[in-house]
Amino acid sequence: MKNLLGLLVLLLLLVSCRYPREEGQISALKENTNLEVFADSVALERLPVKNSFTYLHKGDRVVVAELNVHATDSVDSIWVKVAHSQEVQGWIRQSELVQNFVPSDSISQFIHFFSDTHASYFVIIFFVFVGVWLFRVFRKKQLQLVYFNDIDSVYPLFLCLLMAYSATLYESMQVFVPETWQYYYFNPTLSPFNVPVILSVFLLSIWVFIIVFLAVLDDLFRQLTPSAAVFYLLGLMSCCIFCYFFFILTTHFYVGYLFLAVFTGICFQRMRHSMGYRYRCGNCGRKIKEKGECPYCGAINQ
C-alpha cells in the first residue's frame, strides 16, 4: 500500500510539471474532428446565404471542416462548419453542436453512453445486489461485504476511496472548469500527460483504480470460492457506484469535500487497523496482532 501511494505521488509530481497552455484557443473543437448526430434532426445554415438550411438526422456522421468567430452574434460567437458529404454541409453554433453531436471517438462515445444511462444501471445493480443479499440471508448464509465483513485485504476499501476521489474530481471540473472537461470530451486521451493538471490527476486516478481493481481480483479469488467471490464483487460494485453518485451529488453543493475528508479518515483508519494484524491463528484462522494466545479461541500460537 505504501509503495502504491508513493507511486501515485511521484506520477502526480511528474504530470504537474507539464501543463499545456494553448494561447488563442477559441473552441474545444478542432478541425477534422469526427462527430455523430444523436439528436433526431439538426439544421445547418448554408452561409453566407441567409435562411437557407440543410438537415442532418440521427446517426449521420460529419467532420469539422472550419471554425469561425462571429463577434456580432449575441447567442454564440463561435460557429462551426461541418460536412456530411460534398453536397451536405453547413454552419452551426458551437453551443448547438455540443447539445446535438457526440464525437465518434470510442472514449467520447463511452462518456456519452455512461452519462446517459448510469442512473438506470445503478438502480439495476443495486437492486440485484439487494435481492441476492436477501436471498442469502433467508438461506442463513454469511455474506461478506466490503468494510463490514471484509476479506483479508485493504484493496477493496481503497477501491471505494479511489472512486470517491474520481467522482469528486469529475464534479469539480463540471462546477469550476466546465470548459476543461468539454475540451477533453472532444479531444479525449488516456494519457495523463500534456493535459491540464486537474485532468492529469483525474486520469491518473482512473489508471490507479484499474490497478487496484486487479489487485482486488487477485486477493478475492485466492480467499473465497468463485460463487462467494461473485457475490462479493456485486456488493463491491454497488458500494463503488454509491460512492460515485453520493460524491457527485454532494460536491455539486460544495459539501462533498467535507464528506471526502471524513471518508478518507475512516478508510485509512480501517486500513491501518487491518494492516496491524501480522499473524493468523493456526487453529481458528482469525487474524491476530502477535504470537501467543489467540483472543478468539484460546489456542497458543508460537
Predicted local confidence at residue 169, as pLDDT: 93
Class of domain 34-103 as given by CATH: mainly beta
- Taking only the tens place, the pLDDT of each residue in 223-280 is 888 888 888 888 888 888 888 888 998 999 999 999 999 999 988 888 776 665 566 7
pLDDT at 142 over 60: yes
Tell me which amino acid residue 152 is.
D
CA angle 110, 188, 26 (to 5 degrees): 125
pLDDT at 25 over 50: no
Q: Mean pLDDT across the chain, nearest whole number?
A: 79
Model confidence at 14, pLDDT cuts 50, 70, 90, reads very low
pLDDT at 166 over 90: yes
Give the per-residue SS3 of the chain: CHHHHHHHHHHHHHHHCCCCCCCCCCCCCCCCCEEEECCCEEEEECCCCCCCEEEEECCCEEEEEEEEECCCCCCCCEEEEEECCCCCEEEEEHHHHHHHEEECCHHHHHHHHHHHHHHHHHHHHHHHHHHHHHHHHHCCCCCCECCCECCCCCHHHHHHHHHHHHHHHHHHHHHHCHHHHHHHHHCCCCCCCCCCHHHHHHHHHHHHHHHHHHHHHHHHHHHCCHHHHHHHHHHHHHHHHHHHHHHHHHHHCCCHHHHHHHHHHHHHHHHHHHHCCCEECCCCCCEECCCEECCCCCCEEC
User: What percent of the chain has pLDDT above 70?
Assistant: 76
User: What percent of the chain has pLDDT above 90?
Assistant: 25
Residues contacting residue 234 through CB under 8 Å, at least 6 positions apart: 125, 128, 129, 132
Average pLDDT over residues 2-26: 43
Q: Which residue has the higher pLDDT, 299 or 175?
A: 175
Domain borders along the chain are 34-103, 105-293
pLDDT at 19 over 80: no
Predicted local confidence at residue 212, as pLDDT: 93
Name the nearest CA neighbour of 224 among 238, 242, 236.
236
Predicted local confidence at residue 47, as pLDDT: 82
pLDDT at 22 over 50: no
- Taking only the tens place, the pLDDT of each residue in 39-85 is 888 999 888 888 888 899 998 999 999 888 888 888 888 899 999 98
Predicted local confidence at residue 70, as pLDDT: 84
Cα dihedral across residues 99, 101, 104, 109: positive or negative: positive
How far from each other are the two terminal CA atoms of the chain, in whole angstroms? Answer: 28
How far apart are the C-alpha atoms of 216 and 210, rounded to whole Å?
A: 10
How far apart are the C-alpha atoms of 7 and 24, rounded to whole Å?
A: 35
The model scores a pTM over 0.85: no
Average pLDDT over residues 180-187: 88
